[in-house]
Amino acid sequence: MGATLRELSLPRFALRRDEAAASLAISPSLFDIWIKEGRMPKGRKIGGVMLWDTEEIRHAWQHLADIGDTADEDENPYDRVVA
């Protein structure tokens, strides 16, 4: 059975892995990579369930948005072109 309107309208303070990834519009596997790279916070295991704090995810996202992806900016797109 799906979530009720009341459940959907309640503020969310924590998300499961797939929900956290969906909130960023990325796949769960990319979310895992971002965690390993330190771009996203590690979740917390509470009562056998891994949860991510929504404010920590929002803060990490804002930091990423502010700094951009500098790794791509430093790379010259013509370095790998064979003439």
Residue 6 lies in a domain: no
- CA-CA-CA-CA torsion for 46, 32, 13, 64, nearest 10 degrees? 140
Q: What is the pLDDT along the chain (83 residues), one digit of tens a residue?
A: 577 877 677 788 999 999 999 999 999 999 999 999 999 999 999 999 999 999 999 999 999 988 876 555 566 666 666 65
Residue 38 lies in a domain: yes
Q: Tokens for 3?
A: 């979530």
pLDDT at 5: 76
Strands, sheet with 44-46, edge to edge from the N-terminal-most edge strand: 14-15, 49-53, 44-46
Q: What is the CATH number of the domain that holds 55?
A: 1.10.1660
pLDDT at 69: 62
- The pTM score is 0.71
Residue 80 lies in a domain: no
Range of the domain at 56: 12-69
| Count of domains forming the chain | 1
